[in-house]
Chains A and B, each alone.
Chain A
């Protein structure tokens, strides 16, 4: 098929904070230098911000550098008065830490909704003349004849039916060609997977590890004491995950009697019977949290993974014709529980390199590697390097965790072993025996939701008549070894109830997929113990429609 080609100077794949900041910075720099530059951003979500979800505490450092007048431009900020409280939770009680570790101080930061924030950045990018294309998924990286230089991205075909045949409204994808392509797909991108393996950008690095966050925005009664509490930012550890599973809870005050509530679960968990969504419900039912959200109503729910590997999982940042930014390039600072500012900064540093490279008309990896040099000279390096072993320490069990953390604290992040080893999340499950613990009861459909009501409140919608975007290479494995050993963990780790065990008409067990429920969090591809789930991009425009998370 002959595909239409569109040419740009720079193509950003994915409209998250890294790429939007990159596109804005690039346009501004080009203007300052009197240069014309054609910039495009593609995004699989129907609108900018609709697939963006985060806590979110924003350290405004990168924002101030990017848009010093962000206040005058009506940057959507939920809360500026950040006062921290950290709690250790037990099954029925809590203990407030008398001392908040310095890296968890959030004074001077803002509470934001990442989906609102990205929508705002998107509008600024458009004002600057960036071509912003929501609703277009990148499905394939394009290479030159050598097969080593990235020259752009092909967007997905639209209007293909379940059988893979074109419908009457078939619209073929186009080839977007660019001198430099910037991959900012967020954690576990489907293109960086292909590009990375082909060009070896992960070689010699520790495997990336992830955490899955389930989050809600809840409207609470105006009379709720939390709205006048001495703290506005709550972080918890302990119950319900315990000290052997990494993760914790958060609760932030937002505008308009709303709170942001979430639980983050490290995907290196071992218990095959664990269900993150049930842990999230248990967290909500803990008295500390239940008191704060009492009488409330969930307005929106969503889930997303975050790349938590840190410094030692940074990939090679540049190849011929392309660079990698944001969560795709492991820029998150897991110690500070923040990645938006580092993502934005990485996009901006990449933009500086790209402008110089495009000006010289030399986009070889050796030239684009200047981005890494800039990064290593920036405050990102300072943050990430100090936290280089932090996530690994968190993954230690019980008391060992605190010993490792303590050693790092006094040694500037070095600890006893540097680097501490990181293992692939897919390898951590231990065989599951017996039945999972009973699910949380008394779901009222208002404040406590079952998974499907949560999916409904994420606004998730996909064109029903399209090929299934979740590829299971070996369906038989699901009903044999995976069921026998792990009791089909996909039916539990997916927060969208995409995976269900079913029986065929002949009475045989079968894995049933509900791809329309997919929240695009990609927990499945990460956590599947047999790596038997491959997440591909569904038709552009499908997925959640986040607006306030």
Chain B
């Protein structure tokens, strides 16, 4: 079973996120970068399948040199090899342009299964996984909370309103992760040492046989017009009172008269 995992390096949401002067991007100087949390689920799931069925796990990313850190993290968790598409021409793409690169990179790799995060927490597009499957002409199952490998097929459970639905797709297929799929493992210290020696290949867009005009900023069809921070949270107000009953009564009064919620 050869598995490809798509990962993205994203700003840590605990970082100080500030909008840059251009109004359409964020300041990157003081940001900490991490593996997209949904991609951690994808790496973990791939490793569990590999441990059960054998095979290889290849980690694929598009990003700057720094994104190698994220691939190394996946290698430290236990993945076998990494591939980074690092090319100025690949930068600034929308979901579709990025998916085009990923699909082209996957084509050169042996794969039975592709696992991706449901979305990257920086841009929240939910599109890349589906688009990669479309480019490759393979089935795509989104937001999977349980995956089970059968003979030549994958069975996935997805949460839907009020319940769950089970679907199956023939391999090769691509699925994206939902919270609850697993608990990602920690990169162990020996794992980090071993990861340093695992292969991590870096490729350009041209090496993938892609037209630079169709990827990255040039290939973008969706254009960001403005970026705004969410409204500042108001300070929490603590309701005080002598007894629990008095506090409850005051809470009801505030909810009714001031917040007008009840």
Contacts and interface: CB of A to CB of B under 8 A. Distances in A.
Contact of A445 (B30, B185, B192, B232): B232
Given A47-B32, A50-B32, A450-B235, A545 B186 contact: no
B15 A169 contact: no
B32 A159 contact: no
Q: Which of B184, B185, B232 has the most CB of A within 10 A?
A: B185
Nearest to A119: B32
A156 to B, nearest CB: 11
Question: Contact size class for B?
Answer: 20 to 34
B190 A6 contact: yes
A300 B30 CA distance: 11
Interface in B189-218: 189-190, 192-193
A483 to B, nearest CB: 19
Contact of B186 (A171, A299, A453): A171
Contact of A459 (B14, B184, B190, B234): B14
Interface in B6-23: 12, 14-16
Contact of B192 (A133, A167, A168): A133
B166 interface: no
A445 B186 contact: no
Interface in A42-64: 46-47, 50
Contacts of B184: 169
B123 interface: no
Given A174-B190, A445-B232, A545 B30 contact: no
A485 interface: no
B235 A136 contact: no
A131 B30 CA distance: 24
Interface string A112-136: 0000000000000000000101011
A443 interface: yes
B30 A453 contact: no
A548 B183 contact: no
B25 interface: no
A47 B234 CA distance: 30
A133 B189 contact: yes
B65 interface: no
Contact of A545 (B15, B187, B232): B15
Contacts, number: 60
B188 A174 contact: yes
A171 B32 contact: no
Given A159-B186, A171-B188, A453-B235, A6 B193 contact: yes
B27 to A, nearest CB: 9
Contacts of B232: 445-446
B193 A131 contact: yes
Contact of A547 (B32, B188, B192, B233): B32
B235 A445 contact: yes
A233 B199 CA distance: 49
Nearest to A50: B32
Given A299-B16, A300-B16, A459-B15, A548 B30 contact: yes
Question: Contact size class for A?
Answer: 20 to 34
B192 A461 contact: no
Contacts of B188: 4, 171, 174
A492 interface: no
Interface in A155-170: 155, 158-159, 167-169
Interface string B40-74: 00000000000000000000000000000000000
Interface string B221-246: 00000000000111110000000000
Contact of B30 (A4, A46, A452, A547): A547
Interface in B120-158: none
Contacts of A6: 189-190, 193
Nearest to B191: A171
A176 B32 CA distance: 27
Nearest to A171: B186
Nearest to A173: B189
B32 A158 contact: no
Contacts of B16: 299-300, 459, 547-548
A174 B16 CA distance: 33
A50 B192 CA distance: 20
B15 A547 contact: yes
Contacts of A174: 188-190
A133 B185 CA distance: 17
A34 B232 CA distance: 57
Contacts of A158: 186
Nearest to A172: B188
A440 to B, nearest CB: 14
A215 to B, nearest CB: 15
18 contacts: A6-B189, A6-B190, A6-B193, A133-B192, A135-B187, A159-B183, A168-B183, A169-B183, A169-B185, A176-B189, A299-B16, A445-B232, A450-B235, A452-B236, A459-B16, A545-B12, A547-B15, A548-B16
The 10 closest A-B pairs by CB, nearest first: A171-B186, A459-B14, A169-B183, A158-B186, A547-B30, A169-B185, A168-B183, A174-B189, A548-B30, A545-B14
Given A46-B32, A453-B235, 11 more contacts: A133-B189, A158-B186, A159-B183, A171-B186, A171-B188, A299-B16, A445-B232, A459-B14, A459-B16, A547-B31, A548-B30
